[in-house]
Amino acid sequence: MSLIWQLLRKHISIFELAIFFIANLIGMTVILAGVQIYSDLQPMLSGEKSLIGNDYLIITRPVERMGIGTPTFSDEDINDLNEQPFTINLGTFTASRFEVDGSIVFNGQRLSTMLFFESVPDNFIDVKSDKWCFSPGDTVIPIILPRNYLNLYNFGFSQTQQLPQITEDIIKRVELGIRLEGNGKRSDHTAYIVGFSERLNTILVPSTFMDWANSEYGEGEDDGHTRLILEVSNPTDPELTAYLEEHGYEIENKPAESSKALSILEVGAAVIVGIGVMFSILSLIILTLSIYLLLQKNITKLENLVLIGYSPARVAMPYNVMALVLNISVLIISIVAIFIVQSIYTGHISEWLGITLSAIPTTAIIVGTLFTAAIVTFNIFIINRKIREISSRR
């Protein structure tokens, strides 16, 4: 042990340092937990990979009276909506204007039913499949079904009818017969289901197929768009709600509570981090006072060391090292704590959502290191300032 440390450690109050240590540890751990949880959950509630979120709204006009003719959106309506600040992207649904007859052969028996198709631009579709393409002349048509059709069958119908449940893979291998009829023409095609959409509650075909089929078999005039799909950044935007109300539009798929959840997460994280910062500031005040008191108690020794030729920096060194060791210990312990906390909640999240999160609290490590660097810099600054002050007193 160096002589200078032997001299200067006198009057170090273990009690004060312990209070600083505990307060800073709590503060740091709370801050890091806040930022880590936020950084882990935030991507799930926003952005393209939104897991719970749904930033796509399907807009319709209400059916006002019984009769022929469904309410549709005019080009003007669409242009107006397109110009609104909340609109990121706007797509239209195109409905089939021909008869569709779908059939499957089951146990040697042919079962058939009338169907209808709709299409939307590809960038609104949440299913990625390399089979999702069609060019005129192709005989095979790819189809996307709403996921709730499959759920309805598996968890409702099949159970009551003692029928086997079917998986996505099985259903994707089933060949469907499709007969298109209209405009005095008729043709037979094969279709496969290529995926299930969470977002779009309709039987989807590629828009290239729809355009071709409508021009070949379509009857009657194109009577406008009955449904629109709108991409927004915040489905609970009050401006959006007001606009829809004013124009009497309805939202078919009520937005999931994702953006509310996101704001709750943001507020929650801010509150947690705020509490952590308060703890840290308090602990920093305690440490600052403790260091000032310590330097004051050792002032004669500090002065004498400078008088016998020690530089202020050399005299400050033991206290700087002490601040460094204290703060780095706090950082290490709090990161270990975050590591444990994270492993607990990622376990739950994996169970609920079936996704895996990184097992390393990267955000906490980065934020913690920066925070510690800032605190250590501050500590060293006040220690050195005080010692320079003592040594230059004349």
Interacting residues with other proteins (CB under 8 A): 3-4, 6-7, 10, 301, 304-312, 314, 388, 391-392, 394
> How many other CB atoms are there within 10 angstroms of residue 123's CB atom?
9
Closest approach, Cβ 13 to other proteins, in A, equals: 17
Residues 6+ apart with CB under 8 A from 90: 78, 81, 82, 228, 229, 230, 231
Closest distance between other proteins and the C-beta of residue 384, in Å?
11
DSSP per residue, 148-213 = HHHHHIIIIIHHHTTPPP--HHHHHH--EEEEEEETTEEEEEEEEEEEEESS--S-B--HHHHHHH
279 phi and psi, to 5 degrees? -55, -45
Give the residues across from 191 on adjacent strands.
Answer: 141, 176
Q: What are phi and psi of 90, to 5 degrees?
A: -135, 130
Nearer to other proteins, 162 or 392 (CB): 392
For the bound state, the minimum distance from the C-beta of residue 378 to other proteins, rounded and expressed in Å, comes to 22
Q: CB-wise, 1 or 14, nearer to other proteins?
A: 1
Q: Which is nearer to other proteins, 6 or 343 (CB)?
A: 6
User: Minimum distance between the CB of residue 297 and other proteins, rounded to whole angstroms?
Assistant: 13
Q: How far is the CB of 312 from other proteins (least distance, A)?
A: 6
CA pseudo-torsion sign 132, 89, 118, 53:
positive
Contact present, 53 and 256 (Cβ < 8 Å):
yes
Compare residues 61 and 301 and give the one whose CB is closer to other proteins: 301
Kindly state the smallest distance separating residue 17's Cβ from other proteins, in Å. Answer: 20
Would you give the DSSP letter of residue 361? -
Nearer to other proteins, 172 or 301 (CB): 301
DSSP-assigned letter for residue 83: T
The residue (of 28 and 316) whose beta carbon lies closer to other proteins is: 316
